[in-house]
Amino acid sequence: MTDELLGRHKAVLPDWLALYYADPLEITHGEGRHVWDAAGTKYLDFFGGILTTMTAHALPEVTKAVSEQAGRIIHSSTLYLNRPMVELAERIAQMSGIPDARVFFTTSGTEANDTALLLATTYRRSNQILAMRNSYHGRSFSAVGITGNKGWSPTSLSPLQTLYVHGGVRTRGPYADLGDADFIAACVADLEDLLGHVRPPAALIAEPIQGVGGFTSPPDGLYAAFREVLQRHGVLWIADEVQTGWGRTGDNFWGWQAHGQNGPPDILTFAKGIGNGMSIGGVVARSEVMNCLDSNSISTFGGTQITMAAGLANLNYLVEHDLQGNARRVGGLLIERLRAITAQVPEVKEVRGRGLMIGVELVKPGTEEANPDAAAAVLEAARREGLLIGKGGGHNTSALRIAPPLSLTVAEAEEGADALERALRSIR
Ligand code: PMP
């Protein structure tokens, strides 16, 4: 059945629509932290949390809110008042930490970042953008133009002029051997130097922890140090929280908060899991920045009542069940466990992460060289063990990515770690 569907998929969909697995999965249903494929095989989902399902698969609270709203009204959110949109915007504005915040809803992370670029370039009257090496910000023409990860950037043409900054990746690169403080100092000096050589950029956009780039681990405080420099030059800071938001990193609700108290970003973008599967993206900015546009600008499907109902139900669940605390506790245990089981595995260079956003970097044994073949093999082997994980990284996708729904239990964390241990053993 999957073969038949795969043939049709290949015949009608673009070649660049990447699928995981030599024998791609057709997922047909899910519950909690588990999903089932078309053949009825059950998998523990250690990746869907970062894609769509932040909280849990088929979460009854969200399903109920969506089905009730579907039976009531789904209409344009842009021309008429929309109570769920106002309510969710109020909650997010308050939670963002941005003073005098305004929120605009989109349908994706790409559209959110596009909107952030529209705001920043208009506000600053500059089409120069600073972005991080190895970053990913989406698939539109402008988002591709600020994506430093060239494996995800299919054109070098761009309406923007982009300059790439060091710091998002710690594992490799010119400053890899430095300690935290020296690493930050080197990256800040690099940024200062760059700013001395270019016309004033509009903004720096950065993921507090790079997602597609392999769940990287810049030292805490890096973006606060950058912020101080940027503020001196009048450059805005856009935090792309598409993967790091909503408590996933455990210690903090937003990824930027790990970087100290140099204030919230000027613009924050979010997407992915907040709708627990319904398409919600958005931008938060202080009103002076948000309101710099002097014409109408609407998104027909951004903020529809059905997505907002899902977002509200999901956010309520997240807060009432302290899923940020759960990410901290269960994620902390999982990281510890993964470090223990990989300590003697020569292909594993490091287990890095925060909360339920965990990266495992694979190298060729005895070297620092990225090992994409091992990452691909572990992905397949984990699937055979009933575990779905992701992979990512720069030019070579040599990191395993682990990002389960935030409601993961301790027993499920242990079950997943055991499966990953068997998968790692099986590729040796
Ligand atoms: N920003 C980041 C950090 C992302 O990880 C992604 C998606 N992988 C996007 C933006 C784009 O989001 P979407 O796929 O919803 O357009």
ipTM of predicted assembly, 2 dp: 0.99
Counting from 1 in the atom list of ligand 1, the atom nearest the Cα of 138 is 11
**Antiparallel, parallel or unpaired: β 399-402 and 34-37:** unpaired
Does the global pTM surpass 0.90? yes
Alpha helix (H) ranges present in 97-245?
109-124, 141-144, 180-195, 222-232
CA of 355 to the centre of ligand 1 (A): 19
Q: Is the pLDDT of residue 305 over 70?
A: yes
Q: Measure the N-to-C terminal CA separation of the chain; round to a whole number of Å.
A: 32
Which residue among 52, 117, 135, 136 is best mutated to probe the pocket of ligand 1, counting the most ligand atoms within 8 A of its Cβ?
A: 136
Q: Is the pLDDT of residue 141 over 70?
A: yes
Average pLDDT over residues 188-211: 96
Is residue 190 very low, low, confident or very high in pLDDT (cuts 50, 70, 90)? very high
- Look up the CATH architecture of domain 2-58+322-426: Alpha-Beta Complex (3.90)
CA of 269 to the centre of ligand 1 (A): 10
pLDDT at 173: 85
Q: Which residue has the higher pLDDT, 296 or 3?
A: 296
How far apart are the C-alpha atoms of 173 and 155, rounded to whole Å?
Answer: 24
In what order do the strands lie in the sheet containing 42-45? 27-31, 34-37, 42-45, 387-388
pLDDT at 1: 57
Q: Is the pLDDT of residue 50 over 80?
A: yes
pLDDT at 295: 93
Average pLDDT over residues 18-24: 93
Which residue among 20, 53, 135, 137 is best mutated to probe the pocket of ligand 1, counting the most ligand atoms within 8 A of its Cβ?
A: 137
Fold of 64-320: Aspartate Aminotransferase; domain 2 (3.40.640)
- What average pLDDT does the chain have? 95
pLDDT at 59: 98
Q: Is the pLDDT of residue 364 over 60?
A: yes
How far apart are the C-alpha atoms of 246 and 202, rounded to whole Å?
Answer: 27
Q: What is the DSSP letter of 350?
A: E
Q: What are the phi and psi torsion angles at 43 (to 5°)?
A: -130, 145
Average pLDDT over residues 61-65: 98
pLDDT at 336: 98
How far apart are the C-alpha atoms of 228 and 292, rounded to whole Å?
Answer: 23
How far apart are the C-alpha atoms of 26 and 24, rounded to whole Å?
Answer: 7
pLDDT at 239: 98
Percent of the chain residues past pLDDT 70, beyond the cut: 99
Where do the CATH 3.40.640.10 domains begin and end in the chain?
64-320
CA of 425 to the centre of ligand 1 (A): 32
Task: Out of 41-45, 75-79, 225-229, pick the least confident.
Answer: 75-79
Nearest alpha carbon to residue 258 among 297, 235, 224:
224
pLDDT at 219: 94
Closest residue to atom 1 of ligand 1, CA basis: 137
Name residues contacting ligand 1 (CB within 6 A).
108-110, 113, 136-138, 207, 211-212, 240, 242-243, 271, 281
Average pLDDT over residues 186-204: 96
Q: What is the DSSP letter of 345?
A: -
Nearest alpha carbon to residue 401 among 365, 357, 364:
357
pLDDT at 100: 97
Closest residue to atom 7 of ligand 1, CA basis: 138
Where do the CATH 3.90.1150.10 domains begin and end in the chain?
2-58+322-426
CA of 423 to the centre of ligand 1 (A): 28
